[in-house]
Structure 1
Amino acid sequence: MFENKFNALRRGCSTVAIALALTLAGAGVGHAETKPVLFNIAPKNTAQALLEFSKQAGIQLLFPYDEATKFNAPALKGEFSREAALAKLLEGTNLEIAGVTDKTISLRVKSKSTEQSHNDTTQDVVEVIVTGTNIRGANPTSPARVMGRREIEDSGFSQVGDVIRSLPESFSGGQNPGVIGASSASIGNQNLTNGSTVNLRGVGTDGTLVLFNGRRMSGDSFFQGADVSAIPLSALQRIEIVTDGASAIYGSDAVAGVVNFVLRRNFEGAEVSARTGAATQGGASEKVFTALGGRTGADSFLLANLEYAEQGAVRADDRDFTKAAPADHWLLRPQTRKSLLVSAGRDFGGDARLSVDALITERRSATRSRRTATTTPTVGEVFTPSYNIASALEFSLPGDWNLRATAAASGSRNSTWSGTLLATASFTSRKNSVRYGEVTADGTLFTLPTGPVKAAIGGGFRREDYRNNRAPSSSYIEPTRDVAYLYGEALFPLVSPSNRPGLNALELNVSFRAEDYSDFGQSTNPKVGVRWLPTPDVTMRASWGTSFKAPSFTQMYQASIVAIYQANILGYSGTGTALVTSGGLTELTPETSESWTFGADWKPARWPGLKVTTTYFSIDYTDRVVQPIPNLAVGLSDPIYSSFVETPSSARLAEVLASADITYNYSGGSYDPTKVVAILHNTYQNASSQTVRGVDLGYRQNVQMGRHDIDLFANATWLTLQQQTVAAAPEQTLSGTLFNAPDVKARAGASWRRARWSATGTLNYVDDIRDTGVKPERRIASWTTMDASVAYRFEGPGVFGDGLKVVASVSNLFDRNPPIALSPATTNPGLTYDSTNASILGRFASLTIVKAW
């Protein structure tokens, strides 16, 4: 039944999205000069002059604020067309117009290279970062990193998941391909569906909010972290990563940060590409085919992307490093992906604008595992269709106010068949979906002598659904929650941009969000951010705020299980039996956090193209939901678990058994209530806390040497992640240990361009970690790999002419095997490596051919 409904919805979404996109697309490309406007702008800093221009011209202006503060604009008095007025204000700056519509003008930093190919998008439009604020044009007070189109292409990756896992801020554990045997460190370290998730700071895939073109994506599978593997890399303009708590803006899940995948809405033309590759040690064959088309006009745009991808398996006998494991055990799973994306928009008469984004995907992945050579292999298949569709209608209001109404729906389903070759396969199904509508208004409240005070206010309603299996399965649940919310944000310019030393500019950002959940209650979260420019070259920023994560459906509504054991198995010194409870708990409350960040950005005018950033971050994450007794063998003997032990009456025993959905008897005999000595409560509870402290460093510089264009870059993260599982337990340091985030992770390299050639080399570093699964603990060595790519762009007539590019890429160029870790082999014989911090892929070589028109 559900499959038919899901497929019907998928076909319907595709049809509606394509039809709407084609309807919206019919508009011209040219921009006629506008009628004269009476301007009266005094000489001032260019950033302040551009804000005044935006107000007097009645148009939204998006521009790199930090760059504009480095220049001064002349007086502008009299009647000018907006084009002529803007040209005068930009004289002598390094800014230029990147895009124009009837209601928006985008500026960017001028490119230093004049040798761009037809339809080349590697020079990124530099606009204000849209993630982390509801105010148009607001400057971020939280640490924010942007991977632009050029950086995405230079990475040599073909999948969004690979890009995210390469970032120093992101931990590769959690729900990600290749994770094997890591659930001993965290129940969330499992590769259930071969999806890719984002795990900022290593706090868990459910602690990072993921947005697709600014819209919330649904969770996926058992742990409900958003799967980003379906997002086509070829359709992205940039990836924005805010590494700060952001529940005051976005609500639940934005504890460690927010990642927003932004589409190439300014793409003009058509592009097809084909990529093939394989691991040189064997396996992991890859084929990716992409077709991309776009059109931008004076009042409309259209982007469409179609992608098909295949990826082969890596078997244990493909690697000398894992020869001791059963030969047909898969280290990396095979899979196929298909996706259709359509994004379109149109400006109706200048006062109303409509846009729609639709992404329909399906992914199939197979599994094959064998613990030892004598055991029967377990095989399976996972089918994961998903959809993300959203529409926004914007209206221009009096003054510079803007009203935006958004409706969005996102969902995914995992249908899994698994079993042995000699037995009938079992079937499980999980479904996640989210639907919401919200309205936001933003604009200028009033104007101070230091500048306009801007604000945003809005609210909405969201419905989230989850289904685990199907009735009448004992594990069947199908809960729903409704969320109503209100939010507000204000930006105060305390000191206007000027050339005064030590106090060039100062801004204060204040935001809040209140949410009311139908199943557990309310959560209200504030945030305060400060942005201070002591000089035009230096930006100091600080933020404080609280965030939260709603308990997952699994944690609240999973079937209640009671298991009966001999008490001595659980650490009891006498005879008798004991009950162990597990499963969901409807009385759970949200996980909460308090975040601090302090940072600085240096962009010296004397060295254009250089940017250095540093950020200190701190997260206190409390009330984390866990099953509090990770080792049942000491549940009745270790005093730290005494608060979870109950000495029951006969009536209490009857109550607990009657409330169980599933009962197992592992005691070896019949149940006798008179012999029960204790109940051990291991249901999900708000019992754990974590702290994360660390520093991010970033460096990027563009260097021009004659006809050579060189980009240098480096990013590194130092962090300490500590956890207290229950209040009575000692605090443990998780970072730098097996199956947890490393203490240090870094990525650095250089990209070179000249005429038709370009090349990139990148070093990746993962710090050494401790193997805590062996006694005494053993050091697992650090892991350093190198990636490289070379591209050539053809010119001239014919097939090998303008728009044709060939790219050769190699990841792990020197074929470094993962460092040896002994303890993983105790549960997975022959697999002696940490699958969350090192990849078994080895050297992977690929060739990509791109043709653009």
Structure 2
Amino acid sequence: MVRGLAFCSSAIGALALASAAQAQATSSSQTSGTGDVPAAVAGSSEQGGLSERNAADIVVTGSRLTTNGNNLPTPVTIVSTEALLRNTPTSVPDALKKLPAFALSRGTAVQGDTTDNATGAYLNLRGIGIQRNLVLLDGHRVPPTSYTGAVDTNILPQMLLQRVDVVTGGASAVYGSDAVSGVINFVLNTKFEGLSVQAQRGLSTYGDAPSWRAGAAYGMNFAGDRGHVMASFEHYDQNGFLKEARKSGRAVYALAGSGTTADPYRLITNARNSAIGFNGSIFSGPLAGQQFVAPGVVGPFQHGTTQGAGLESGGDGFYGKNSSAAADVTTDQAFGRADYAITDTINIYAQGFWARSKNFNYFYPFLFNPVVVIGNDNAFLPAALRPALGGPFVFSRVFDDAEHRLAIKNETTSWQAAAGLTGSVGEFKWDVFYQHAQSTSRNQGLGFGVAANLFASLDAADEGLVRSGVANGNIVCRANVTNPGSHPGCVPINPFGTSPATQDAALDYIYGSIYNQPRFPLDNVSASISGTAFDNWAGPVRFAVSGEYRRLGMDITTGIPGSALADCTGIRFNCVQGTTTYYYGGGGITPVSAHQTVKEAAFETEVPLLANSAIGNASLNGAVRYTDYSTSGSEVTWKVGGDWSPLEGLRFRGTRSRDIRAPSLYDLFQPATLANSGYQDVHTGFNGLVQTQTVGNSSLTPEKADTTTLGLVFAPSFIPRLSISVDYFRIKMKDVISAVDGRTQVVQRLCEAANGTGPYCDLYDRPLAFSNRSLDNAPTRVRSTQLNGATLKTWGIDTEINYSAPIGADNRLTLRGLAGYQPQLTTVLIPGTDPIRNGGVASIQQGGGISKLRLTGFVSFASPHWSVDVQERWRSSLRQDANRSVVYNIPKVPAVAYTDITLTAFLDSDRDKSIFLSVQNVFNKNPPVYVTSAFSGTPAFQYPSIIGDDVIGRYFSVGARFKF
């Protein structure tokens, strides 16, 4: 903490390090595409409260009232996209994730899965969930790309973005559901003129992760400046890399131990699974414990140093080899807009965008797990070895060739068509808006074994020996001889110490892919009117009234290349007809189609209370919204806020709000899937197999959050261009939606405590009344579903400092600093269970842990011919685990800082043409090692670092930006 405070104190001078890029934007905002936003606002935060912002009124996210951002009671951080991309050239979302308000945001360094696009750019405010902040494009909702309801921000157009407004307080009353932790509004520059082109290339210091970006944008006026058109297209591509490409990835870390005082968790390297090898291991019979050391040759399994729980350091065992440390990402974004002034007071516009985002990452090698049974008469086994095996034997192995690793491939395509009218009548402004938008994702798992194909391929036989008892050397799949045509295309595989590279045909046969394709269509129509209702003793009383109707759908299709159940005809081992699922080692999403309609009406007002009085100026802001969901009924959200300026340069502000997040359509309508599972019943004492059902819950209601913010903005007149803001926030959520499994003892006891009533008892189907405790009343079905049973609490303090000063006649120094202190992030998943305290914790389980203190600073120096921008990012150290009873003999995950520098040369006096060199992670700082206890006893597949730390290392980008 001392080091953190030392850094913080130095950052107070340099903790403002962002507007530097903005100072430059200040002088060029009218010529380089930053549009009609006041330069100070476009380049820095609303919280800074710079006096020159009063020069213009703009619509700042956080209120539907046209206002200067400095006067809002709700904290809003405003950052120009020019500044974001100057310091982080890869993308606007990548740059946003470096700000302290964001924690646990997803990106290419997050491991993917087969059901959702985990490696997309999903932003997470406060670390409380990617689904609990609302993403807007120019003030309008963007359709989800994930089952959670979250948006992959890689799909948003970037070339014509002007700025990003980040509301760091609840805003459901103003903008609707999901704005629990805040709103992220990507604001377009609708007045762009001219032609802008850009191109860049990037490469890591290790010679990998190459990237390139190219884009163009054009805008012009027509019809005597009554009309305006603009369009853009941009392409970005970056390759990922395997974890072995970095030192920490090659070390193969794992946690050994059990987390007790007698056996604390300890970090080991060169970790291996002590049982399974890459060439095949034997688990039963006279040769149990042996492995295949060469094709058909059995030898001893070389063990490393025992670490307990089936884990060794060194030896021949299996480990998570050749998985991705970062995924490939490719994005294409196209945007077009036209607007025309029909009259002096009415404007019509139409706009649309199309975008595609692709992600790909390797998961881990294909493993025969659980183990399989193979006959000792397998044709690939030498005749001399077969008697020594003693009959059919249990076997497992790993295939780790590059062509047949498990991999995750995601592609999301989104498009939007929208049109609207804006106008004014006297003092009143109005608008009407309609959009149709759609996001379609294809989430694909590659290299998953097809059960029946695998089992048929493993049962290899000599064709002549099976047919006539005389061997002919032609090795085939036995099932196709005993049951001709039962498994067309079957290619026998030799798993006994043979290199997979020599068996491509067999591996191609046993591997398959599984995919799901969710489509989210959105139709949205809205209208609003705002203006001044009347003047009171202190000034104009302003209001905004809005209404909205939207229809959101979800259609999921899935694809498998054959029957959903295995055809076991002719297969002797492993396969069970009609019960073994077609995919071996993989799962899928069941098809579903559902929709919901939402009707909303909202009112917002701002009432001045004091104006130029002896005790200063003061105003009150309030909003209320009525929302009716076709799926979960009606809800009312509200916000009350106020600000008071007792003297010039000092302002106090605060808000209190009720915010909601509605359950996603998948939460509500996830189709039922059935399985048989082990179960011990507290109620009757039954212990055995029971049918289990995983299903959505159509009775879910919205999550509810109460948010409080209190803050001050200080912009002293005796230090021009300095502003300091400090804001406290507290969020308490109830009815939080979380997965609940009726098999767990905790859930069963909650039902017992309720004497058979309440939501937890709905998870059990019993044939008799609850009062019957005989074995005859054991449940016939136990459910796993989503319930409104969890709670979440967090609080913290945000600080921002901005300063800008001229240096000589033509130079400018700009400083900006942002600090986020968030010591609490506590979740209770099920009432009566211990809270999970993730504040200051590295754990990625149950939502994930966050560092208590996060700092980002920006410094910029700009002259007429060149500029230099520096960004510094730091986070505090982290405890290993949220569970205080778990014992580690490893220290905390250390604090870490990353430095980015960009040098820009201007080729003309207007700074419209420039070339740049950007170096991110200048000092090539490696991420501190972290391995979650979820992988204790198993060599981890994912890269050993926390979410948000830099796994790429030093990265160089060179490029050019020209505007004509």
TM-score exceeds 0.5 = yes
Aligned residue pairs: how many? 712
Aligned-residue offset at 1:832 = 5.5
Matched, 1:795 2:908: yes
- Whole-Å Cα distance in 1 between the matches of residues 861 and 804 of structure 2? 10
SS at the partner of 1:840? coil
Match of 1:226 in 2: 151
CA gap 1:129/1:558 in 2 versus in 1, 3 angstroms: same
Match of 2:870 in 1: 761
Bigger RCO of structures 1 and 2 (CA < 8 A, at least 6 apart): 2
Q: Is the 8 A contact 2:695 2:783 kept in 1?
A: no
Q: Deviations over 1:655-685 (max 9, x none)?
A: xxxxxxxxxxxxxxxxx99594686543100
Matched, 1:388 2:416: yes
Match of 2:766 in 1: 649
Residue identity in the other structure for 2:406: T
Q: 1:776 aligns with which of 854, 868, 887?
A: 887
Aligned-residue offset at 1:731 = 2.3
Q: 1:346 aligns with which of 340, 354, 361?
A: 340
Matched, 1:598 2:710: yes
- Whole-Å Cα distance in 2 between the matches of residues 310 and 569 of structure 1? 53
| Structure having the higher Rg | 2
Residue identity in the other structure for 2:435: A
Residue identity in the other structure for 2:906: R
Matched, 1:305 2:417: no
Q: 2:102 aligns with which of 144, 157, 170?
A: 170
Matched, 1:454 2:542: yes
Q: Is the 8 A contact 1:254 1:549 kept in 2?
A: yes
Matched, 1:617 2:617: no
Range with bigger deviation, 805-814 or 826-835: 826-835
Aligned-residue offset at 1:299 = 3.0
Q: Deviations over 1:431-456 (max 9, x none)?
A: 11221101111111111232111111
Matched, 1:694 2:807: no
Q: Is the 8 A contact 1:804 1:852 kept in 2?
A: yes
Q: What is the Cα-based RMSD across aligned positions, in Å?
A: 3.4
Match of 2:840 in 1: 736
SS at the partner of 1:567? strand
Residue identity in the other structure for 2:827: Q
Match of 1:290 in 2: 215
SS at the partner of 1:617? strand
Matched, 1:479 2:594: yes
CA gap 1:832/1:196 in 2 versus in 1, 3 angstroms: closer
**1:86-165 aligned within 5 A:** 108=38, 127-137=57-67, 139-165=71-97
Match of 2:663 in 1: 551
CA gap 1:587/1:811 in 2 versus in 1, 3 angstroms: same
Q: 1:270 aligns with which of 195, 207, 216?
A: 195
- Whole-Å Cα distance in 2 between the matches of residues 539 and 478 of structure 1? 51
Flag structure 1 segments of 5+ consecutive residues without an equivalent.
1-94, 114-122, 654-671
CA gap 1:200/1:693 in 2 versus in 1, 3 angstroms: same
Match of 1:413 in 2: 440
Residue identity in the other structure for 2:817: A
The percent of aligned pairs where both chains have the same amino acid is 20
Range with bigger deviation, 474-483 or 415-424: 415-424
- Whole-Å Cα distance in 2 between the matches of residues 201 and 419 of structure 1? 34
Q: Deviations over 1:760-784 (max 9, x none)?
A: 1111112211222894144211121
- Whole-Å Cα distance in 1 between the matches of residues 36 and 364 of structure 2? 56
Q: Is the 8 A contact 1:542 1:598 kept in 2?
A: yes
Aligned-residue offset at 1:270 = 1.1
Aligned-residue offset at 1:396 = 1.7
Match of 2:428 in 1: 401
Q: Is the 8 A contact 1:177 1:191 kept in 2?
A: no
Match of 1:845 in 2: 956
Flag structure 2 segments of 5+ consecutive residues without an equivalent.
1-25, 44-52, 253-319, 368-397, 448-506, 565-588, 755-759
Q: 1:464 aligns with which of 552, 560, 567?
A: 552
Q: Deviations over 1:330-389 (max 9, x none)?
A: 221113211111133222221211123322111222232215893452134322110133
Q: Is the 8 A contact 2:674 2:693 kept in 1?
A: yes
Aligned-residue offset at 1:540 = 1.1
**1:160-239 aligned within 5 A:** 160-173=92-105, 175-180=106-111, 192=117, 194-239=119-164
Range with bigger deviation, 384-393 or 538-547: 384-393
CA gap 1:610/1:127 in 2 versus in 1, 3 angstroms: farther
Q: Is the 8 A contact 1:129 1:140 kept in 2?
A: no
SS at the partner of 1:158? coil
Match of 2:185 in 1: 260
Q: Is the 8 A contact 1:479 1:553 kept in 2?
A: yes
- Whole-Å Cα distance in 1 between the matches of residues 39 and 517 of structure 2? 49
CA gap 1:677/1:151 in 2 versus in 1, 3 angstroms: same
Aligned-residue offset at 1:309 = 1.3
CA gap 1:823/1:456 in 2 versus in 1, 3 angstroms: closer
Match of 2:638 in 1: 526
- Whole-Å Cα distance in 1 between the matches of residues 183 and 927 of structure 2? 30
- Whole-Å Cα distance in 2 between the matches of residues 482 and 605 of structure 1? 51
Aligned-residue offset at 1:152 = 2.2
- Whole-Å Cα distance in 1 between the matches of residues 917 and 410 of structure 2? 32
CA gap 1:743/1:567 in 2 versus in 1, 3 angstroms: same
Q: 1:709 aligns with which of 778, 793, 812?
A: 812
CA gap 1:461/1:321 in 2 versus in 1, 3 angstroms: same
Q: Is the 8 A contact 1:96 1:107 kept in 2?
A: no
Aligned-residue offset at 1:296 = 4.9
Q: 1:588 aligns with which of 693, 700, 703?
A: 700
Residue identity in the other structure for 2:87: S
SS at the partner of 1:317? helix
Q: 1:367 aligns with which of 361, 367, 373?
A: 361
SS at the partner of 2:832? coil
Residue identity in the other structure for 1:136: T
- Whole-Å Cα distance in 2 between the matches of residues 147 and 406 of structure 1? 26
Residue identity in the other structure for 1:700: N
SS at the partner of 2:96? helix
Q: Is the 8 A contact 2:516 2:559 kept in 1?
A: no
Q: 1:807 aligns with which of 916, 927, 943?
A: 916
Q: Is the 8 A contact 2:134 2:184 kept in 1?
A: yes
Aligned-residue offset at 1:635 = 5.2
Aligned-residue offset at 1:811 = 1.0
Q: Is the 8 A contact 1:323 1:830 kept in 2?
A: no
Residue identity in the other structure for 1:762: Q
Residue identity in the other structure for 2:802: R
Residue identity in the other structure for 1:449: W
Q: Deviations over 1:43-100 (max 9, x none)?
A: xxxxxxxxxxxxxxxxxxxxxxxxxxxxxxxxxxxxxxxxxxxxxxxxxxxx999989
Aligned-residue offset at 1:107 = 7.8
- Whole-Å Cα distance in 2 between the matches of residues 636 and 619 of structure 1? 26
- Whole-Å Cα distance in 2 between the matches of residues 795 and 312 of structure 1? 34
Q: Is the 8 A contact 2:701 2:788 kept in 1?
A: yes
Superposition TM-score, scaled by structure 2 size: 0.69
Q: Is the 8 A contact 2:523 2:552 kept in 1?
A: yes
Residue identity in the other structure for 1:526: W
Match of 1:86 in 2: none
Q: Is the 8 A contact 1:178 1:191 kept in 2?
A: no
Q: Deviations over 1:189-223 (max 9, x none)?
A: x9725321121011101100010011100111222
- Whole-Å Cα distance in 1 between the matches of residues 775 and 233 of structure 2? 62
Q: Is the 8 A contact 1:571 1:636 kept in 2?
A: no
- Whole-Å Cα distance in 1 between the matches of residues 55 and 915 of structure 2? 24
- Whole-Å Cα distance in 1 between the matches of residues 854 and 939 of structure 2? 26
SS at the partner of 1:771? coil
Aligned-residue offset at 1:231 = 2.1
SS at the partner of 1:806? strand
Q: 1:836 aligns with which of 944, 947, 960?
A: 947
Matched, 1:821 2:923: no
Residue identity in the other structure for 2:815: L
Aligned-residue offset at 1:647 = 6.8
Superposition TM-score, scaled by structure 1 size: 0.78
